[in-house]
Structure 1
């Protein structure tokens, strides 16, 4: 292990106040989309029951989504809720690490579900007590891969300045893209799986910590822009899911992971544990097939998906937070997939 590898000192998660049970969403979706799609919706209704999700959290109550909401309204909610979640996640991560806000030299903020200029950290710096010379690194556009790519970036920045502390904050408010007037499979899938959440981590290149970031990398498939992303509509973002992502995971992710490990003189035999972004129940099953994992090896992923839904970039941070609560030995492989279409990968070892 590199002497000055970046160490994760703490990781904290946060969710908004409104709990949305899947059965409630299924009933309401049947009313709304049933009127739009008629009998065609009956073929899509199983998406809700097969999602592997019991509940999710939303920054807005269900009734908010029945009103006409355009860019101004959605952006206002994004700013309000993002600032609250930023403060909660960052405060808890700093407290867990025993670090004061004034000790943070760099803030990496990851979010793809809203637009803020100046970026989110600038809005809360004074309230949380960050220094006026703290370096700000906002990251946009990575979608579900953003949590792991953001963690990789934060780790590299920590290694670049040994002894300096870096704060990573990941905030995704996916529910703000819900549209009750659009009958498309992509919109119905988004309605069935997406939730809101935030996570924060403190990193430092030095002794101690919960885990050490070892290697990180990305792979972007050629001609894959249409696999996943946001469509910019007059009234807000619209979800893009135009390929069979589980099939891509099953057949194409393993060679990419093997190549990543080979570049660092490793093989899958060197991996003792896994933490993946659980995009959905079918994606988890595809990951198990791709990496030949026995049932139960991805239990953290299934539990996070069931309890919180797909929170885009924040989800893998929730999975990692669970993993770090347990004592583990050996090397861990982490992975997430996002727009690009891109795989973000990382290996970790106990600190």
Structure 2
């Protein structure tokens, strides 16, 4: 019995600005800081590889001093809206009703809400009362792939069932107004908000790429490389500048043994469906695979068009491949990284 991904759909928040339109707000925020530092920050934004970003709040609200409670209230309201919209789109693509879903996984790490997003979606869409719920909250950027892995394992054990994975993130809600550290600034330069939903099925007659294999890879002694620290003003980003080189050092162990256990090598992979963590990570991955004749053009395009939306971002890349209607037999390698530090991998076959 196989498990297939039958549909992927994104949903963007209503507020959006090009990076050049953010610069005036940035300069106002930097008032009083050293002029050389100000120039460095502006240049960082301009060279981050992100042309436009979307947000659950307009720029004025992002750069206005508000409490963690006020920002989290906006987060809670908007992720429900975005999650519902993206799930409805994905269901429409798959020609399904909300009651056709047996398993719901919701993914988000950029705010706090109990009950979790899935409970609200079940009520808003009148989903099954016996639907199985799983909220994933602390896996960061890797959680979009993690959610697919959990859904796949559920469906593999349960024939003729369907699952939905909904990832909704708002990194802009975590921006720290009084924090002028490079970590906070780099985070603001590369991240944006967004949502995406994925429908998976263990019905034999449904179309879409098959999940041939999946695996997680855990980096030892790297818990402090990436994540959030809960402070009085909200979720404060943790992002070690050594992340790209750490990923590069581990890449052979992440990729090659995983493919070898499936009887193939990287040469047999037609499509790289990678999470665009940021410009430096994208360049690192491109350097590693460019010599093999592989490209990550769709990964770069997603970063440029939307920024890094944490767990949802790799699903935006996946949607681009789903919309291409690829030839039968094509293989794709899906990969994302997140706190822990960890890498999640999925092997797809169309």
TM-score (norm 2): 0.95
**Do the aligned residues in 1 keep the contact of 2:216 with 2:344 (CA within 8 Å)?**
yes
CA distance in 2, matches of 1:171, 1:46: 29
Residue 66 (structure 2) aligns with: 69
More moved, 285-294 vs 329-338: 285-294
- 1:249-289 per-position Cα deviation (integer Å, ceiling 9, x unaligned): 33322332112223333321221211100111221111111
Asked whether the 8 Å contact 2:56–2:170 carries over to 1, the reply is yes
2:9–2:198: 8 Å Cα contact kept in structure 1? yes
Contact 1:112 1:141 in 2 (8 A): yes
Q: Is the CA contact (8 Å cut-off) linking 2:29 and 2:63 kept in structure 1? A: no
C-alpha distance in 2 between matches for 1:46 and 1:255: 35
C-alpha separation between the residues in 2 aligned to 1:45 and 1:18? Answer: 21
2:203 equivalent to 1:224: no
In the alignment, is residue 339 of structure 1 matched against residue 339 of structure 2?
yes
Residue 219 of structure 1 aligns to a residue whose secondary structure is: strand
Shift of 1:345: 0.8
Partners of 1:163 and 1:20 in 2: how far apart?
Answer: 43
**1: CA distance, partners of 2:107 / 2:285:** 25
Q: Give structure 2 stretches of 5+ with no counterpart.
A: none
Displacement after TM superposition at 1:154 (Å): 1.1
- Quote the residue 1:83 is aligned against: 80
Asked whether the equivalents of residues 22 and 56 of structure 1 are also in contact (C-alpha less than 8 Å), the reply is: yes
Aligned counterpart, 1:14: 11
> How far apart are the structure 1 equivalents of 2:228 and 2:324?
36
3-state DSSP class of the match of 2:32? helix
CA deviation digits over 1:184-203, x for unaligned, max 9? 00000011111110111111
SS in 2 for 1:144: helix
1:206 matched to 2:199: no
Where in structure 2 are the equivalents of 1:27-46 lying within 5 Å? 27-46=24-43
Query: 1-side partners of 2:294 and 2:38: how far apart?
Result: 33
Aligned pairs (5 A) from 1:291-310: 291-293=289-291, 297-310=295-308
Say whether 1:196 aligns with 2:190.
no
> What is the match of residue 241 of structure 1?
239
Q: Tell me, yes or no, if the aligned pair for 1:159 and 1:204 is still in contact at 8 Å.
A: no
- Pick from 158, 173, 177: which aligns with 2:174? 177
Per the alignment, do residues 26 and 295 of structure 1 end up closer, same or farther by CA in structure 2, a change over 3 Å counting? farther
Deviation string for 1:279-326 (max 9, x for gaps)? 112211111112235788211111111111100010000000001111
How far apart in 2 are the matches of 1:23 and 1:294?
A: 35
Preserved CA contact (<8 Å) 2:65 2:177 = no
CA RMSD of aligned residues (A): 1.6
Q: CA 1:258/1:296 → structure 2, altered by over 3 Å: closer, same or farther?
A: closer
Structure 2 partner of 1:286 = 284
Q: Distance in 2 between matches of 1:151 and 1:317?
A: 10
Assess if the C-alpha contact under 8 Å between 2:22 and 2:59 holds in 1: no
Can you list the C-alpha shifts for 1:215-264, whole angstroms capped at 9, x where unaligned? 11111111111111111110100111123222223332233211222333
8 Å CA contact 1:37, 1:183 repeated in 2: no
Q: Please, which moves more after superposition, 172-181 or 10-19?
A: 172-181
**What TM-score comes out, normalization by structure 1 length?**
0.94
Q: In 2 relative to 1, CA 66–44 (structure 1 residues): closer, same or farther, beyond 3 Å? A: closer
Quick one: which of 309, 316, 321 aligns to 1:323?
A: 321
